[in-house]
């Protein structure tokens, strides 16, 4: 009886530890669109005023630029960069101090000086899991690699060597997804496109699924990333690009359903950049390329129904934000307009023009009643989330190109510019 009681206590303690670890992992920004895959997080007392020298916990010089969003797991931050010698770097920093703990080279990057299209091959955001103690990096040269938290290389894959060139016109830039014990990678390219799942500890292929499509020319290429979706009692992986949205079985890669109403005219330059977004009540939002309509789909089982459509303003690059029962959609290129909508009906709550220095590539993030976004020149806008448009503050970080999403972690922000990673907000403020 005594042993039984002790076992019960031990089990309760173990469950509590697992629950706390799971809660911490869910609250951390361990993937490019955050813990809920929609750009939002739970936080309080987030900063609204700072500069490059004031109200910062630390500031770390980076070896080079990159568009990948930092990932936070446990007491570590992981990010990618292309160094001055054009070598691709996997980097780990201490979360509290910003100290670079280790750097690992991952082959050659590249230099592209076309303003607004700089792809150094350090564009993919890493993923990390504090319970597994593993961080996975993917680079535009095709290198997929797993490290432990101390920087030991656990495994590496060369996707180009295994499956051929990643023929994507502006450079491969899809981030991996770490979801329920698997790392998911998509390659939508000129040539055979596919989706694959690998084991995070070994890098071994769990499955690889060829993804067929009817797109032509550049329209077969995509810069989007895999996304999890809970469809009733069924979990799915969504892949958006090549003129369609497809759903796949996370265990096998089998295709459940597809929606192919994106490019009926077979335009040749319809490459997808903005990611799909999962909303409430089975809603999924997909944006046609190049500022064309946003489609609000509702999925029940294998049935997909379009409920409403937004013609303007829509993005070419920025992924929409879902936060606190509202959908925020931004055209980051033309007039830089943002619209706030009801997610299930598309009803317009407000629309406003954003005063920025230049175009926006990074997607908006939100928590604590605030929306954070950064333009390519490093101008940060802090907006009030809610039923009325209001600019809380505007802070110039003065750094081009700034293309990484602003990360929200506890009561602080991680802002990556071309030269530095800033931790904004004092500890415990």
Tokens of 102: 């280790």
Q: Nearest-CA neighbor of 33 among 194, 199, 184, 225? A: 225
Calculate the CA dihedral of residues 19, 22, 27, 30 and round it to 10 degrees: 170
CATH number at residue 79: 2.130.10.10
Q: What is the DSSP letter of 149?
A: T
Quote the pLDDT of residue 252: 98
Q: Please state the domain count of the chain.
A: 1
CA atoms of 175 and 311, how far apart (whole Å) = 27
Task: Find the domain containing 259 and state its range.
Answer: 29-424
CA atoms of 131 and 72, how far apart (whole Å) = 12
Long-range contacts of residues 259-265, Cβ cutoff 8 Å, at least 24 apart: 259/286, 259/297, 259/304, 260/214, 261/295, 261/306, 262/286, 262/288, 262/295, 263/215, 263/219, 263/288
Decide: 60 and 79 in contact? Cβ < 8 Å: no
Tell me whether residue 294 is in a domain: yes
Quote the pLDDT of residue 1: 35
Tell me whether residue 21 is in a domain: no
Tell me whether residue 331 is in a domain: yes
Tell me whether residue 359 is in a domain: yes
Tell me whether residue 120 is in a domain: yes
With tokens 């293309």, the residue in question is: 403
Tell me whether residue 12 is in a domain: no
Tell me whether residue 279 is in a domain: yes
In the chain (429 residues long), the average pLDDT of successive 10-residue segments reads 38 37 62 97 96 96 95 97 94 98 94 72 96 97 98 98 93 96 97 97 98 94 97 98 97 97 90 97 96 97 98 95 98 90 98 95 97 97 98 96 95 96 80
Tell me whether residue 9 is in a domain: no
Quote the pLDDT of residue 13: 36
């Amino acid at each position: 009886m005594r042993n039984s009681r002790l076992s019960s206590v031990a089990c309760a303690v173990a469950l509590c530890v697992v629950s706390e670890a799971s809660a911490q992992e869910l609250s951390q920004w361990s993937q490019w669109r955050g813990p809920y895959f929609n750009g939002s997080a739970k936080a309080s007392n987030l900063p609204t005023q700072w500069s490059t020298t004031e109200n910062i916990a630390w500031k770390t010089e980076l070896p080079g630029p990159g568009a990948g969003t930092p990932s936070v797991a446990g007491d570590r931050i992981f990010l990618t960069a292309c160094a001055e010698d054009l070598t691709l770097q996997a980097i780990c920093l201490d979360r509290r101090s910003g100290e670079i703990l280790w750097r690992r080279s991952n082959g050659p990057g590249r230099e592209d000086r076309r303003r607004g299209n700089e792809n150094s091959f350090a564009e993919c955001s890493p993923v990390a899991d504090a319970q597994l103690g593993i961080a996975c990096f993917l680079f535009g040269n095709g290198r997929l690699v797993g490290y432990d938290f101390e920087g030991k290389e656990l495994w590496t894959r060369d996707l180009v060597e295994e499956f051929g060139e990643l023929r994507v016109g502006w450079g491969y830039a899809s981030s991996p997804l770490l979801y329920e014990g698997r790392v998911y990678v998509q390659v939508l390219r000129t040539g055979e496109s596919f989706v694959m799942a690998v084991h995070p500890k070994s890098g071994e292929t769990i499955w690889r699924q060829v993804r067929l499509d009817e797109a032509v020319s550049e329209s077969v290429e995509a810069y989007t990333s895999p996304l999890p979706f809970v469809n009733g009692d069924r979990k799915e992986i969504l892949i958006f690009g090549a003129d369609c949205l497809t759903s796949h079985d996370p265990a096998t890669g089998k295709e459940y359903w597809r929606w192919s109403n994106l490019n009926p005219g077979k335009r040749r330059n319809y490459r997808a950049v903005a990611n799909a977004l999962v909303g409430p009540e089975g809603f999924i939002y997909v944006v046609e390329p190049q500022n064309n309509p946003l489609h609000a789909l509702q999925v029940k089982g294998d049935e997909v129904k379009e409920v409403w459509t937004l013609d303007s303003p829509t993005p070419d690059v920025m992924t929409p934000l879902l936060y606190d029962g509202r959908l925020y959609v931004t055209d980051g290129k033309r007039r830089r307009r943002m619209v706030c909508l009801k997610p299930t009906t598309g009803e317009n709550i407000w629309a406003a023009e954003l005063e920025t220095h230049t175009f926006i590539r990074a997607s908006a993030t939100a928590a604590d009643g605030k929306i954070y976004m950064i333009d390519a020149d490093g101008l940060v806008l802090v907006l009030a989330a809610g039923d009325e448009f209001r600019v809380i503050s505007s802070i110039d970080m003065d750094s081009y190109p700034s293309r990484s999403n602003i990360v929200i972690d506890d009561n602080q922000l991680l802002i990556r510019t071309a030269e530095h990673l800033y931790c904004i907000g004092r500890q415990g403020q």
